[in-house]
């Protein structure tokens, strides 16, 4: 047998991160506003999740419009006005059909390039990064705009206090370009995995072919997002811990040598448990969850943009990106942070 790539090693040229942008819709919903309509309290939400507020879209906006804003900022940060492909991670597409990415690409002046959606729920951005790196490695594109955008506010049951406080809307994006593996910004190998035996832990039961094909109409709450929080919490810590170890090993790094952990922002207690499991000082974990909540596929790139803007993530830092979500799906990768401006 010839030509089998070594597990975890990216064959061919490296994908180098060279642009970054994030965008949040202007409307903020504070915990106090949720308390007015749900049986909850600011104290419960802050102490159990670490969230103080979240941003939500307003009428006339959608996942696509969030993606366009973040994508434009990433292109500006990369000082580029074109790329060879657009990959959009989302599970709240503008419509069930077609994919949202082609319209996003067209609105960014990129009509003509390959553009498609990736669905891996909250792990989606790392999957989209791996896909973008693959497009570069195969010579399909020299540079790729990778966007994570979600509007979970459109999926939430207005009467469910267990999901309402957690999610927010937003988008983040990066530009990847062809480069050398030892350059700052070059992505290391990826660790990606799923466990579909546990797909019911996070779901929107209705709207897909299973429900439509059954001929049985959806129940009144079946179009809403549902999750089994406690089990999801446990798996999030377990899977991200294992995935960080694998990604770090593939990079030839040690966990102790991680300067910044950019983990999916699901719950501040998940972040604390993850850093404890990794035996990393908690201050090495980047965090913006208090201001944005869980923004699903947007979480990791928004976190990167916020952290660069506030100065907690700087050129030269060894960074691990890790994410986890419905599927179950998880993924991680590594990079030495490059010199760049977020916008
Ligand atoms: N306000 C007040 N009380 C609430 C509440 C809210 N918003 N939500 C749940 N509760 C109550 C429960 O009803 C329960 O009450 P009981 O003890 O009387 O039965 C109590 O708080 C504890 O509930 P529990 O579900 O055990 O809380 P928890 O500590 O596990 O926190 C989550 C709940 C959802 C915050 C937590 O499980 C979590 O963050 N899970 C992961 C979610 C996630 O990341 N999802 C996306 C994956 S990417």
Q: What is the pLDDT of residues 52-92, one digit of tens each?
A: 999 999 999 999 999 999 999 999 999 999 999 999 999 99
Cα 257 to Cα 293: distance, rounded to the nearest angstrom: 28
Please compute the mean of the pLDDT values over residues 294-309 and round it to a whole number.
Answer: 98
CATH code for position 61: 3.40.47.10
Please compute the mean of the pLDDT values over residues 274-301 and round it to a whole number.
Answer: 98
- Please give the C-alpha separations between residue 295 and each of 32, 151, 195, 306, 325, in angstroms, as whole numbers: 19, 8, 22, 13, 11
Q: Is the CB of 266 under 6 A from ligand 1?
A: yes
The confidence band for 9, taking pLDDT boundaries of 50, 70 and 90, is low
The confidence band for 12, taking pLDDT boundaries of 50, 70 and 90, is low
Protein residue with least CA distance to atom 32, ligand 1 = 229
Please compute the mean of the pLDDT values over residues 13-18 and round it to a whole number.
Answer: 96
Protein residue with least CA distance to atom 41, ligand 1 = 233
Q: Mind spelling out the 3-state secondary structure of the chain?
A: CCCCCCCCCCCCCEEEEEEEEEECCCCEEEHHHHHCCCCCCHHHHHHHHCCCEEECCCCCCCHHHHHHHHHHHHHHHCCCCCCCEEEEECCCCCCCCCCCHHHHHHHCCCCCCCEEEECCHHHHHHHHHHHHHHHHHCCCCCEEEEEEEEEHHHCCCCCCCCCCCCECEEEEEEEEEEECCCCCCECCCCEEEECHHHHHHEECCCCCHHHHHHCCCCCCCCCCCEECHHHHHHHHHHHHHHHHHHHHHHHCCCHHHCCEEEECCCCHHHHHHHHHHHCCCHHHECCCHHHHCECHHHHHHHHHHHHHHHCCCCCCCEEEEEEEECCCEEEEEEEECCCCCEC
Q: Is 330 a residue whose pLDDT tops 60?
A: yes
Cα 199 to Cα 215: distance, rounded to the nearest angstrom: 22
pLDDT at 225: 97
Q: Is 4 a residue whose pLDDT tops 50?
A: no
Please compute the mean of the pLDDT values over residues 281-301 and round it to a whole number.
Answer: 98
Q: Is the pTM of this model over 0.85?
A: yes
Per-residue pLDDT tens digits for 163-178: 999 999 999 999 999 9
The confidence band for 343, taking pLDDT boundaries of 50, 70 and 90, is confident
Query: Dihedral of CA 43/47/52/56: which sign?
Result: negative
**Index of the ligand 1 atom closest to the CA of residue 230:** 37
Q: Is the CB of 49 under 6 A from ligand 1?
A: yes
Q: Is the CB of 251 under 6 A from ligand 1?
A: no
Beta bridge partners of 15: 178
Protein residue with least CA distance to atom 8, ligand 1 = 162
Protein residue with least CA distance to atom 44, ligand 1 = 266
The larger pLDDT score, comparing residue 244 to residue 10, is at 244
pLDDT > 70 fraction of the chain, expressed in percent and rounded = 96
Cα 181 to Cα 184: distance, rounded to the nearest angstrom: 8
- Tokens for 311? 């100065």
pLDDT at 96: 94
Q: Is 98 a residue whose pLDDT tops 90?
A: yes
264 is catalytic: yes
Per-residue pLDDT tens digits for 235-261: 999 999 999 999 999 999 999 999 999
Please compute the mean of the pLDDT values over residues 34-50 and round it to a whole number.
Answer: 96
The confidence band for 109, taking pLDDT boundaries of 50, 70 and 90, is very high
Per-residue pLDDT tens digits for 114-164: 999 999 999 999 999 999 999 999 999 999 999 999 999 999 999 999 999
Interval between CA 228 and ligand 1 midpoint (Å)? 9
Compute the CA torsion angle 40, 44, 50, 56 (nearest 10 deg).
Answer: 10
The one catalytic residue among 18, 31, 55, 122: 122
Q: Which of 10-19, 210-219, 256-265, 301-310 has the lowest mean pLDDT?
A: 10-19
235 is catalytic: no
Domains of the chain: total? 1
Cα 135 to Cα 141: distance, rounded to the nearest angstrom: 6
Q: Is the CB of 233 under 6 A from ligand 1?
A: yes
pLDDT at 341: 78
Query: Ligand 1 pocket check: which of 31, 121, 233, 295 to mutate, most ligand atoms within 8 Å of Cβ?
Result: 233
Q: Is the CB of 232 under 6 A from ligand 1?
A: yes
Structural domain including 221 reads 1-343
- Answer yes or no: are the C-beta atoms of 28 and 55 closer than 8 Å: yes
Q: Is the CB of 294 under 6 A from ligand 1?
A: yes
Question: Mean of the per-residue pLDDT values for the chain?
Answer: 95
Q: Is the CB of 47 under 6 A from ligand 1?
A: no
Interval between CA 48 and ligand 1 midpoint (Å)? 7
Q: Which of 29-33, 142-146, 211-215, 292-296 has the lowest mean pLDDT?
A: 211-215
Q: Is 6 a residue whose pLDDT tops 90?
A: no
97 is catalytic: no
Q: Is the CB of 291 under 6 A from ligand 1?
A: no
pLDDT at 220: 87
Cα 186 to Cα 252: distance, rounded to the nearest angstrom: 14
């Amino acid at each position: 047998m010839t030509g089998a790539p070594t597990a975890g090693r990216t064959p061919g040229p490296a994908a180098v991160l060279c642009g970054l942008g994030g965008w949040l819709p202007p409307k903020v919903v504070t915990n106090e506003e949720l308390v007015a309509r749900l049986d909850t309290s600011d104290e419960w939400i802050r102490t159990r999740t670490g969230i103080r507020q979240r941003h939500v879209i307003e009428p006339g906006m959608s996942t696509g419009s969030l993606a366009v804003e973040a994508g434009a900022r990433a292109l500006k940060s990369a000082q580029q006005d074109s790329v060879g492909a657009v990959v959009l991670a989302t599970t709240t597409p503008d419509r069930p059909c077609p994919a949202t990415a082609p319209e996003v690409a067209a609105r960014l002046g990129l009509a003509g390039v390959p553009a498609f959606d990736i669905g891996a729920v909250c792990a989606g951005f790392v999957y989209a990064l791996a896909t973008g790196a693959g497009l570069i490695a195969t010579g399909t594109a020299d540079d790729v705009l990778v966007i994570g955008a979600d509007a979970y506010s459109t999926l939430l049951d207005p009467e469910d206090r267990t999901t309402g406080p957690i999610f927010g809307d937003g988008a983040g994006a990066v530009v990847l370009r062809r480069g050398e593996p030892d350059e700052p910004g070059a992505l290391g190998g990826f660790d990606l995995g799923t466990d579909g035996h546990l797909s019911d832990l996070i779901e929107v039961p209705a709207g897909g072919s299973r429900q439509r094909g059954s001929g049985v109409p959806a129940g009144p709450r079946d179009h809403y997002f549902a999750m089994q929080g406690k089990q999801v919490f446990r798996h999030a810590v377990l899977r991200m811990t294992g995935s960080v170890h694998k990604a770090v090993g593939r990079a030839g790094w040690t966990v102790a040598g991680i300067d910044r952990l950019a983990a999916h922002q699901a719950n501040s207690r998940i972040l604390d448990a993850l850093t404890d499991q990794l035996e990393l000082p908690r201050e090495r974990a980047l965090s913006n969850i208090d201001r944005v909540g869980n923004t699903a596929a947007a979480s990791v790139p928004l976190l990167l943009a916020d952290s660069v803007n506030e100065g907690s993530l700087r050129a030269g830092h060894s960074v691990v990106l890790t994410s986890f979500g419905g599927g179950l799906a998880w993924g991680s990768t590594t990079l030495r942070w490059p010199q760049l401006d977020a916008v």
